[in-house]
């Protein structure tokens, strides 16, 4: 009886070519697993394509709600943003995909998992760290790193390889942007983006959004509610998280929200340039932050920002299934108890403009913040506070003056 391998299958040319390659080089029975994270791509025909290419079975697994509830929301609550811009759209999806691949591998009694990530990118690390953490006994096959066996270097090579194995597929060799899409975002790499000196061709590139220049001339108001840091409704309509993100994607895309151009530092050491469209995610992160501004005290907010940056790094590097991620998430969850309230804003040509935030747990005191003297604040108290707060500066200045005087004696 042949050993089984579970292949992370997208239905694209790369992973389709891997099917006969696995059979030819390892004599495996190939089980394909297509994992839907809200790509909204057409999945019809994938089973026929996988079996035509030599797979014995195809699983199509929808983990969209799991992705939203257990990966996206913890990162939103933490304010996890990699290198000040990237909202972790691809990074957050990989641990959920890895977990599902392991689940299917156990169900099928497979001995190996195969992925089509290249040897230059971050995804190979994210997939493999997830698999190692959840199933250290399973073998991992990464064709693009096995250059002695995987000799294909282009789409033309892959198409020719498939045809030589009697597989005629509806792919062409034309080159386009390299994209990754899920419910949270879509990323774009390649073509003119490979040179940071080039301006992106947004007319050809954008999928979820329009550029701010092409957004409506009228602003649109949006109201959201949160309970304990979790979004609950848009414009008075209660929805589950995945539907909230879908709705925000439409609103944000319409108004040119969340388009970023970044040169980021990959885990493997190189810099890469990409365009990310995260219309709904950008709105959700901003709305959540606006509410936190009202309810978190200064010291907690300060530490939480540090934890958010750390979580972004942890997730970006594929270290989701680690004690550190669990500890950071536990801290963040403890800060979300009172992040409840309503956020109102307007969307206008790429901008999210505040229009009022309220919370029953707001720490904002109008009487304290106003220029008139409130009962809790005596202006005279500031004298002693400033004297003590500035004491180290004063002592140092006196010491420096003393040393200067001694040098000139």
* Residues labelled catalytic: 14, 94, 123, 178
Distance in angstroms (rounded) separating the CA atoms of residues 383 and 137: 66
Distance in angstroms (rounded) separating the CA atoms of residues 233 and 157: 49
Please compute, for residue 134, the number of CA atoms within 13 A of its CA located in the half-sphere on the CB side: 24
Whether the Cβ atoms of residue 311 and residue 328 lie closer than 8 Å to each other: yes
Among candidate residues 211, 283, 218, the one with its CA nearest the CA of residue 247: 283
Give me the residue label for tokens 């003393």: 402
What does the radius of gyration of the chain's CA atoms come to, in whole angstroms?
A: 26
Whether the Cβ atoms of residue 229 and residue 249 lie closer than 8 Å to each other: no
Please compute, for residue 154, the number of CA atoms within 13 A of its CA located in the half-sphere on the CB side: 7
Question: What's the full length of the chain, in residues?
Answer: 409
Among candidate residues 42, 20, 97, the one with its CA nearest the CA of residue 318: 97
Whether the Cβ atoms of residue 381 and residue 388 lie closer than 8 Å to each other: no
377 to 362, 367, 370, 372, 384: CA distances (angstroms): 18, 9, 11, 10, 13
Q: What angle do CA 122, 127, 128 make, to 5 degrees?
A: 100
Whether the Cβ atoms of residue 321 and residue 129 lie closer than 8 Å to each other: yes
Give me the residue label for tokens 């300060």: 302
Three-state SS for 113? strand
Distance in angstroms (rounded) separating the CA atoms of residues 352 and 347: 5
Enter the tokens of residue 79: 């304010």
């Amino acid at each position: 009886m042949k050993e089984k391998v579970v292949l992370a299958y997208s239905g694209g040319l790369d992973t389709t070519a891997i099917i006969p390659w696995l059979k030819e080089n390892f004599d495996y029975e190939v089980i394909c697993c297509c994992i839907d994270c809200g790509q909204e791509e057409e999945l019809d025909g994938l089973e026929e394509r996988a079996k035509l290419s030599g797979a014995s079975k195809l699983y199509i697994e929808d983990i969209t709600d799991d992705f939203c509830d257990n990966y996206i929301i913890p990162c939103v609550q933490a304010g996890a943003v990699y290198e000040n811009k990237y909202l972790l759209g691809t990074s957050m999806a990989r641990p959920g995909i890895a977990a599902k691949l392991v689940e299917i591998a156990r169900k099928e009694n497979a001995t190996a998992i195969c992925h089509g990530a290249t040897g230059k990118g971050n995804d190979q690390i994210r997939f493999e760290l997830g698999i190692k953490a959840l199933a250290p006994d399973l073998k991992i096959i990464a064709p693009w790193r096995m250059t002695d066996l995987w000799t294909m270097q282009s789409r033309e090579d892959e198409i020719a390889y498939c045809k030589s194995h009697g597989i005629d597929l509806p792919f062409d060799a034309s080159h386009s942007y390299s994209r990754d899409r899920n419910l949270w975002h879509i990323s774009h790499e390649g073509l003119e983006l490979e040179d940071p000196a080039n301006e992106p061709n947004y007319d050809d590139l954008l999928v979820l959004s329009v550029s701010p220049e092409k957004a409506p001339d009228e602003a649109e108001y949006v109201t959201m509610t949160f309970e304990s840091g979790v979004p609950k409704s848009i414009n008075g309509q209660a929805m589950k998280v995945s539907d909230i993100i879908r709705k925000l994607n439409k609103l944000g895309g319409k108004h040119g929200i969340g388009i970023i151009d970044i040169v980021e530092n990959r885990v493997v050491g190189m810099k890469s340039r990409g365009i990310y469209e995260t219309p709904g995610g950008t709105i959700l992160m901003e709305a959540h932050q606006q509410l936190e501004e009202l309810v978190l005290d200064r010291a907690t907010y300060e530490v939480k920002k540090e934890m958010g940056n750390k979580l972004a790094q942890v997730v970006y590097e594929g270290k989701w299934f680690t004690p550190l991620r669990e500890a950071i998430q536990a801290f963040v969850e403890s800060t979300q108890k009172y992040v409840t309230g309503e956020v109102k804003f307007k969307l206008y040509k790429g901008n999210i403009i505040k229009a009022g935030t309220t919370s029953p747990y707001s720490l904002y005191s109008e009487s304290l913040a106003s220029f008139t003297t409130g009962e809790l604040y005596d202006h005279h108290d500031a004298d002693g506070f400033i004297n003590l707060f500035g004491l180290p500066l004063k002592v140092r200045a006196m010491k420096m003056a003393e040393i200067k005087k001694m040098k000139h004696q």
